[in-house]
Chains A and B, each alone.
Chain A
Amino acid sequence: MKYVSEFRDPQLAQQLAQAMANEVHPDRLYRFMEFCGGHTHALARYGVLDLLPSQVQMIHGPGCPVCVLPIGRIDMAIEVARRPGVILASYGDTLRIPASKGLSLMGARAQGADVRVVYSVDDALQLARTWPDREVVFLAIGFETTTPPTAVAIQTARREGLRNFSVLCNHVLTPAAMHAILDQPEPVALDGLVGPAHVSTIIGSRPYEVFASDYHLPVVIAGFEPLDVMQAVLMLIRQVNEGRAEVENEFTRAVNREGNARAIALTDEVFALRDQFEWRGLGSMPHSALRLGDRYADMDAELRFALSTRVVPDHPRCECGPILRGHKRPQDCVLFGTICTPDQPTGACMVSSEGACAAHYRYGRHQADEVAA
């Protein structure tokens, strides 16, 4: 693993910035959505936004698994975590997402629920082995990237006969969210899309072809390194200038057209499509998420504990929804940086470092100074 520096070369960055400046048409706007929170984070953390020509406007998309988890699903996780005998295993970020009644998983834990932070689903399996008398529930979240490891864990639990392991499944599907963004009643005006990095290593570039063909939208799949994102923006500018709408792949070192066949087969084997699933900000969408397939229904925590989701509205003044749909920016929310901060988030976009609000709060707040000065 010695490959970081070549993707952070400042000279290359300057060259890319220069190329963009040369190629943009001065009198038009280029509105590109970066779907992934990982890209949002890279743009903010490396100050890439400062290097883009003023004609280029980046719009944050809904691609952060923490941000799109609706309150009702967290309430559900809290409910199961509070049952006697249950250990809820969760990724750390998820613990801080605000839920109903001022609670969060972290708050529930401080009140006595047994919630444990895990770094991978394997840690959750290990908990189940260590505590045979307890019910270990893994709170699975994430896009296509994190789904195959969950599938492996489910199969491992079955093979080992671990009867005390189950999964509260919140795995969601990227193309569904993209369709939802483009099909909203008042769609955001977009000139191109920076396609997901890690997700595409699993599903390949083919699923995005429909956006190029049916919506005439240029797509460039990009890695999470800052130079990747800059290169992708340049490629999008060129497509726009040439009137093309194609799926191009900047991230060829990890992504091909077909994706990872083994991972896809594994996912198909263990999971099934949900008819409907609620996303924060995007509402309920058909076929946009996964549940455990019938053969693994005994490990589906929703069935095992007879859990049901309630739809819970966001904080009335929180703009997470419009932000996730690309209609607003973090600084447009009246709660931003006052009531809602990374330490005490009101909305989910302020929780994960890949959330649009958290990224702007941590890295971009100084821009407000310059505007005011």
Chain B
Amino acid sequence: MSDIPSTAAKPAYVRPLDLKHGRIDLTHGAGGRASHQLIETVFRPAFAQTWPGGWQDGGDDGALLPDMPLTPGTAGGKLVMATDAHVVSPLFFPGGDIGSLAVHGTVNDLAMMGARPLYLSVSFILEEGLPLSELQRVVQSMARAAREAEVAIVAGDTKVVERGKADGLYISTTGLGQCRPGVQLSGRLAQAGDAVLLSGTVGDHGVAILSQREGLRFDAPIASDCAALHGLVAHMLDTGAALRVLRDPTRGGLATTLNEIAVASGVGMQLDESAIAVNPTVAAACEFMGLDPLYMANEGKLIAICAASDAERLLNAMRAHPLGRQACHIGHVTAGPAGQVRMRTTFGGQRMLDWLMGEPLPRIC
């Protein structure tokens, strides 16, 4: 404890959830601190009892299952299970659609645990009135994404709800994957001195979606970065580098994901803004709308935290893979203040990088 400077900055006080009178509102789903609080207050205490010791505090997106050889004769790395629901609107956007997103999302959750994705199950909630042609487009896109990622879609379910009760179509996917023996990754494992690496530009997916919703036109179209990352991860694991954390910065963006890791590991972080790549069109769109790319969602990027001595090697390996070509070293883990992410701005000033609050919204004035 003593190496962590005492902090006079007000800690991030979170008012307890009012379980008696409170109601769910949109912030609880936006992926920021409110989502985190809902999980910690409502879900974790209830579900942890179903599997003592199973729920860990890394905030990881997948769960490690006890050892069991999946197929006779395999070495028997740990199994990993992950699940994800997708409610994106619009259903189709430049660079992807809800179908490919539903496959990539779960594949990536497994990959971030260091696992190779094997099986997926899928559940659809369809809204009365959804054109069949749209459903077919989505399903075919899912199938293509699954083939490319080499995962099998092995089980499914479909429900239809009345018109007005869903936004066209929602998809949940659950995935099962298997770790290489000996691999252990978690948001709890970041240590002071570690390097923080990022696989490419940030904000592309979030801005692609928002610009569709807003009907904004930019010189160059902004496409989502939606992609399956397990290939890149396998490549990184091959280096044998001392990897501690892998995480894909989806909702809440880079800033929120780093805050989650800082809290789970009880460490601080110091970043360098000028090292964080932002596609110029995304930067311009964010400027126009008054948004910060560091808080915009990504669907094909990962954050890696590793021992500083391995950073160079890992970075080179990432850059040799098509999904990591723009990988860079964006900062390092500090002993404290615990849970605080700070950033040296391109201007040479210091600022805090806080969790996302609410949803990213365009400016009013």
Contacts and interface: CB of A to CB of B under 8 A. Distances in A.
Interface of A: 1-5, 8, 10, 13-14, 36-38, 41, 44-51, 63-66, 91-93, 96, 106-107, 109-111, 117, 119-120, 141-143, 145-146, 198-199, 225-226, 336-339, 341-344, 352-354, 358, 361-369, 371-373
Contact of B350 (A8, A13, A47): A47
Interface stretch (B3-11, B153-161, B235-243): B3-11
Contact of A14 (B8, B24, B348): B348
A67 to B, nearest CB: 11
A10 B284 contact: no
Contact of A368 (B8, B281, B283, B345): B8
B214 A92 contact: no
Interface stretch (B119-127, B180-188, B286-294, B315-323): B286-294
B354 interface: yes
A117 B359 CA distance: 11
A106 B25 contact: yes
Interface stretch (B12-20, B44-52, B75-83): B12-20
B329 interface: no
B365 A37 contact: yes
10 contacts: A48-B349, A49-B349, A91-B361, A117-B26, A339-B15, A341-B14, A342-B358, A343-B32, A344-B14, A369-B8
A344 B364 CA distance: 20
Contacts, number: 168
Nearest 3 pairs between A and B by C-beta? A47-B349, A337-B10, A372-B8
A47 B345 contact: yes
A55 B37 CA distance: 42
Contacts of A117: 26, 361
B358 A119 contact: no
Nearest to A109: B25
Contacts of A141: 364
Contact of A51 (B8, B26, B285, B349): B349
A366 B364 contact: no
Nearest to A52: B349
Contact of A344 (B15, B218, B340, B347): B15
B10 A336 contact: yes
A15 to B, nearest CB: 12
Contacts of A37: 365
Nearest to A372: B8
B6 A372 contact: yes
Given A338-B10, A341-B15, A358-B357, 13 more contacts: A1-B219, A1-B284, A2-B284, A4-B283, A45-B292, A47-B347, A106-B26, A119-B214, A342-B357, A343-B357, A354-B290, A365-B10, A369-B337
Interface in B329-358: 337, 340, 342, 344-352, 354, 357-358
B284 A93 contact: no
Nearest to B15: A344
Contacts of A363: 351-352, 354
Nearest to B22: A110
Contacts of B41: none
A65 B284 CA distance: 23
B361 A10 contact: no
B93 to A, nearest CB: 15
Contact of A2 (B26, B280, B364): B280
Contact of B351 (A46, A142, A358): A46
A44 B352 CA distance: 9
A366 B352 contact: yes
A371 B9 CA distance: 9
A354 B346 CA distance: 20
A301 B177 CA distance: 56
A145 B363 CA distance: 11
Contact of B290 (A4, A10, A38, A338): A38
Nearest to A49: B349
A65 B357 contact: no
Contacts of A143: 365
Nearest to B213: A119
Contacts of B362: 119
B361 A92 contact: yes
Contacts of B136: none
A366 B342 contact: yes
B364 A93 contact: yes
A90 B285 CA distance: 22
Contact of A364 (B8, B274, B352, B363): B352
A232 B351 CA distance: 21
Given A10-B347, A361-B354, A3 B365 contact: no
Most buried by A among B7, B10, B34: B10
A146 B363 CA distance: 11
A1 B218 contact: yes
Q: Which of B6, B15, B287, B348 has the most CB of A within 10 A?
A: B348
Contacts of B283: 4-5
Contacts of B12: 337, 341
A198 B364 CA distance: 11
A300 B5 CA distance: 56
B269 to A, nearest CB: 12
Contacts of B32: 343
B309 interface: no
A132 B325 CA distance: 51
Nearest to B352: A366
A145 B350 contact: no
Contacts of B359: 92
Contacts of A339: 13, 15
